[in-house]
Amino acid sequence: MINSLASRLHPSIPSPCGCSIQAQVRKLSRNHLLAGSSSFSCQYQQLSCVRCLSGASSTGSSTPSRSKTFDEYRKALGLRTQDDYFRIERANCAPNYVPTPVVISRGEGVFVWDTDGKRYYDFVSGISSLNQGHCHPRIVEALEKQAKLLTLTCRVLHNNVMPILCKFVNDLLGYEKTILMNTGAEAGETALKAARKWGYEVKGIPENTAKIILCRNNYWGRTITAASSSTTLENYKNFGPYTPGFELIAYDDLPALEHALEDQAVAAFFVEPIQGEGGVIIPRDGYLRKAAELCRAKNVLFIIDEIQTGLGRTGRMLASDWDGVRPDIVLLGKSFTGGTLPCSAVVTDRHVMDVFTPGTHGSTYGGNPLACAVAYEALSVIVDENLAENARLQGELLRGALRKLKDEHKLSWIHDIRGRGLLNAVEVKGSCGVATQLCMELKNEGILCRPTHGNVVRFLPPLCITREQMEEAIQGIANVFLRKSF
């Protein structure tokens, strides 16, 4: 009866296939059903069944026709303007981000294009996930080649790509063992599990009492464990109860670290070499080196999170290299695969990694051959194209130009210009939201940036940016800055 209900109420409306639509019709109120009004007809006309949209058979046949291709489905949805994309995203996607209002459809090198064809400099780089640039041809070729051979085995079977990547990473960074995960947050969880297990089985900490020291204003993900160790309200509010075992201290505060390390239950100190999400906060020279020495003296693992700062971003392969530090554990992610596939790594030595025995840790997609082949090529591009050195040079050019602009034009609304390599920030004076306004004006100028902490604008272009491109981007930034007044 329900299948033909709309046809009886409004004969000009044909009955659809009757699968998903039945559930939608049942959701209409009893008043609409009893009234038989035109308002019901209008609502019915707007109902859509996934089977109908995809081109599946409406006859009840067990052999439906081929689903629409992605492009056919997109065309059927009638998406013509950027506002159309905003609308369908609001209706169908979780509201857990506030994206810059632009719909990107293509990327190449340091540039992206929106659906209207406008070109932008990408100074977001997927929050440092695109150090090699968008769609690097070598990385894309590696992806296509491996995708035709083998994409996944899970770790219950060996594959012929993962061990080669792990060996390459170990040789590149000077470590003995690597474990591959998918996301940066998963790498963080893996490092914390390893540190706790090492604390119990190697250091001898009484079971279930191990502590990890982190710094306030940290960011390493949004899992429950990451939320439990965060001091950023939006990251932890209403996500309790929280995982215990964390002690938070001030960043770049050696006396605070030294005091916290007096506790014999401390297994590790987990720290970012530069607090990227925290506003590009750079510690004083020697902080990491001295912190590593303090940890070593107390038999505590020194964990460096290089997910945003590593792989050439700051002008060295690792940001911790600036202090001449060799951490006990290094976390890698983001640009580990050049912005193509999720893949992360935890890199350490045998005495730490070997606490993981069969069954104690794993991931279905961790170490999959497709991501491993891509990661190998992505890392090779960083080395072969000397991207770390280019980041150092172009970063010096950017900061120098911005400081000159501030001084010559007396831009008093700029509080600070800071950075290392191509991880840079401009901190502006004013209330929360000023940085967002500035980013919108930069977007209109053809430069995409992202704010953080309300009054900080980050500049993170791909490391392949040329001097000529940087100079053009600087001119665009100057155009915005010289128009701005607070």
Q: What single-letter amino acid sits at 205? A: I
Around Cβ 479, how many Cβ atoms within 10 Å?
Answer: 16
Least confident of 49-53, 128-132, 316-320: 49-53
Tens digit of each residue's pLDDT (9 = 90 or more) over 236-254 = 999 999 999 999 999 999 9
- The fraction of the chain above a pLDDT of 70, given in percent, is 86
Distance CA 146, CA 224 (A): 34
pLDDT-based confidence at residue 36 (cuts at 50, 70, 90): very low
Q: Is the pLDDT of residue 40 over 70?
A: no
Q: How much is the CA Rg of the chain, to the nearest whole Å? A: 26
Residue ranges covered by each domain of the chain: 137-385, 386-454
- As a whole number, mean pLDDT of residues 81-90 equals 97
> Residue 72 corresponds to which amino acid?
E
Q: Does the predicted model carry a pTM greater than 0.75?
A: yes
The set of residues, in sequence order, having a beta carbon less than 8 Å from that of 484 and lying 6+ positions away, is 411, 413, 438, 441
Tokens linked to 350 = 């045998």
How is residue 288 written in tokens? 């990491």
Q: Answer whether residue 444 shows pLDDT above 50.
A: yes
Q: What is the pLDDT of residue 49?
A: 53
Q: What is the pLDDT of residues 41-56, one digit of tens each?
A: 333 334 455 555 555 5
β-sheet bridge partners, residue 248: 214
Q: 464: which residues sit within 8 A by CB, 6+ positions away?
A: 109, 110, 131, 132, 133, 136, 385, 387, 390
pLDDT at residue 304 is higher than 50: yes
Tokens of 22: 């039945």
Can you tell me the mean pLDDT for 346-355? Answer: 98
For the chain, percent of residues with pLDDT exceeding 90:
84
Fold of 386-454: Aspartate Aminotransferase, domain 1 (3.90.1150)
Angle between helices 162-173 and 369-384 (to 10 degrees): 30
pLDDT on residue 453: 84
Distance spanning both ends of the chain, measured CA to CA: 65
pLDDT the model gives residue 86: 97
Whole-number Å distance between alpha carbons of 128 and 321: 18
pLDDT at residue number 440: 96
Contact 286, 323 (CB under 8 A): yes
Per-residue model confidence (pLDDT) at position 486: 61
Q: Is domain 137-385 annotated with CATH 3.40.50.720?
A: no
